[in-house]
């Protein structure tokens, strides 16, 4: 099996976090989930074409100590992926 590189670049400018699709693929069902004590803005699954970005607003105290962000997406072949992001 060939390794699959995470197709995102993350820019952190609290409270805004932006992911940019750095792949050549059209990714769909892109969404964010926050686990921990922070608060995340509502977000519906989105489509990100190559080079497109998506922003999410996250607020909270001590995010680095007790929260993680999970990015979920589907590749064109329908396979689901999850990426865990630490603060």
pLDDT of residue 14: 93
pLDDT of residue 63: 93
How is residue 54 written in tokens?
A: 């998506």
What residues of the chain score a pLDDT lower than 70?
A: none
Architecture of domain 8-86: Sandwich (2.60)
pTM above 0.75?
A: yes
Residues sharing a CB contact under 8 Å with residue 72, sequence separation 6 or more, in sequence order: 29, 30, 31, 32, 33, 80, 81, 82, 83
How is residue 21 written in tokens?
A: 């699709």
How is residue 63 written in tokens?
A: 């995010």
Domain regions of the chain by residue span: 8-86
């Amino acid at each position: 099996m060939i390794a699959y590189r995470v197709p995102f670049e993350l820019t952190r400018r609290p409270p805004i976090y932006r992911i940019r699709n750095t792949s050549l693929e059209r990714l769909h069902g892109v969404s964010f989930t926050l686990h921990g004590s922070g608060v995340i803005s509502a977000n519906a699954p989105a489509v990100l074409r190559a080079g497109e970005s998506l922003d999410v607003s996250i607020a909270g105290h001590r995010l680095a100590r007790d929260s993680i962000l999970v990015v979920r997406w589907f590749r064109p072949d329908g396979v689901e992926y999850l990426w865990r992001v630490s603060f």
